[in-house]
Amino acid sequence: MKLYEFQGKEIFKAYGIPVQSGFLILANDEVKNLTPPLVLKAQLLVGGRGKAGGIKIWDGNIDVSKIINKLFALTIKGEKVNAILALEKVDISREIYISITFNRGKSTPLLIVGTSGGMDIEESAKLNKEKIHFIEFDPFLGILEYQIRFIAKKINIDNYLKFKKIIEAMYKIFKEYDATLVEINPLAVTSSGLVAIDAKINLDDQSCFRHEELFKKLREEQNIIQGEKDTNASISKEDTITYVPLSGNIGLISDGAGTGLLTLDLIHGFGGEVASFCELGGITSSEIMLKALKMVNKNPSLKSILVVLIGGFNRMDDMAEGIVKFKKEFKRDIPIFIRMCGTKEEIGKQLMKEANIPVYNSLNEAAEAAVKEAKGN
Ligand code: GDP
Ligand code: MN
């Protein structure tokens, strides 16, 4: 689960990481008595808001409601702005990048620190490799003092103790919340010390059972912001269908959890990201196939749909019927890729061909085609 900036900052504050004071504005809120200068920030789960115009500074020269209305009218990378975080503006003399994540290859947590953070971190990381430092550390020992000293020196931090406190707090959050990413970009050097200007926290959905109350609270907050728009915002079970929302753009439907997981890995292997994991469950029907497609289709970031079916008790002619019905009913033209085999596959494939829907024998080929489509080539 990805958290909004305001949710991340609430956690930062509780762990003693300095953040600007501020408040959340929702679309129907009446705003009055605001004092400039303020930074007004669209609350979105996608990155790169600054570059896309989602961050505005109000210095008091024009009517603040004009800026707010402009922000609410924005859609960035398919996400509509439904909430704005208003923060007291700080003067920044330097921006630093810090994150804690996993080095999955080495199975260790990893601290990443960049001399110059900010909106161009990705580009500058490619251009100036010496400006980014990667430090793997022991999960049980945490980040050791000498490692923090080393980094502080490398990036010329004056206030070592404050810097250390922030990094230690970040790792505490990483551990206690079962996060997969805790990122501050930028951490600003200001005349009054270090301030986390942005907050990005991703939680491990697999750890949900350990933090039921937390996930519930965060999800409720997210639902208020996302409104009725995304009724699939959390894991749901409808009839026999299990639907798990993810953050990519390929809608995956399978008629078995194992096949689904395997396909998920294949998609990742081809460089794609899955928008949702949707499993039909048990013996199924054309109605359930149709329903699953409708659920998956609600996601605004969708670029392609991949359906993987293995006909045992399930009949491929039934499945094909549901897919054809969906294609006829829904005008939104998201390309669908099918892999089907087993019971009645000849009829199923014939129906797919008649409906002009690509059907594959090989799971690899179907996954690759769905990824290619989502990447736009
Ligand atoms: P992102 O684009 O989604 O990563 O949004 P950020 O919250 O990181 O903000 C992007 C950029 O806006 C930062 O790198 C800063 O340069 C600038 N910015 C954000 N808040 C402030 C602020 O309070 N003061 C100043 N001077 N710049 C800010
Ligand atoms: Mn940022």
pLDDT of residue 304: 96
Distance CA 110, CA 196 (A): 19
Rounded distance from Cα 297 to ligand 2 centre (Å):
30
pLDDT of residue 141: 94
- Which ligand 1 atom sits closest to the C-alpha of 41? 7
- Which ligand 1 atom sits closest to the C-alpha of 118? 14
The 3-state DSSP class for residue 288 equals: helix
| Residues whose Cβ atom is located within 5 A of ion ligand 2 | 185, 198
Distance CA 260, CA 117 (A): 38
Q: What is the mean pLDDT of each run of 10 residues along the chain (377 residues)?
A: 97 98 92 93 94 96 95 92 96 96 94 84 77 94 95 93 97 98 97 96 92 93 75 59 92 93 96 94 87 93 95 91 93 90 95 95 96 90
pLDDT of residue 234: 58
Is the bond preceding residue 186 a cis peptide, omega within 30 degrees?
yes
Distance CA 97, CA 184 (A): 6
Rounded distance from Cα 246 to ligand 2 centre (Å):
21
Is residue 109 within 8 Å of 142, Cβ to Cβ? no
- Which ligand 1 atom sits closest to the C-alpha of 117? 14
CA distances in angstroms from 45 to 54, 79, 162, 273, 319, listed in the order given: 12, 8, 29, 15, 34
Return the closest-CA partner of residue 42 out of 30, 26, 58: 26
Distance CA 18, CA 264 (A): 39
The 3-state DSSP class for residue 329 equals: helix
DSSP strand pairing (304-311 vs 250-254): parallel
Residue having the nearest C-alpha atom to atom 9 of ligand 1? 50
Model-wide pTM > 0.85: no
Identify the burial level of 101 via C-beta atoms within 10 angstroms of its C-beta, where 0-12 means exposed, 13-18 middle and 19 or more buried: middle
Rounded distance from Cα 183 to ligand 2 centre (Å):
9
Confirm or reject: Cβ of 55 under 6 Å from ligand 1. Answer: yes
Is residue 183 within 8 Å of 177, Cβ to Cβ? no
- Which ligand 1 atom sits closest to the C-alpha of 89? 23
pLDDT of residue 284: 83
pLDDT of residue 122: 77
Rounded distance from Cα 368 to ligand 2 centre (Å):
32
pLDDT of residue 229: 47
Is the bond preceding residue 358 a cis peptide, omega within 30 degrees?
no
- Which ligand is closest to the CA of 85, given by its number? 1
pLDDT of residue 231: 45
CA distances in angstroms from 235 to 209, 260, 262, 314, 367, listed in the order given: 13, 15, 19, 24, 23
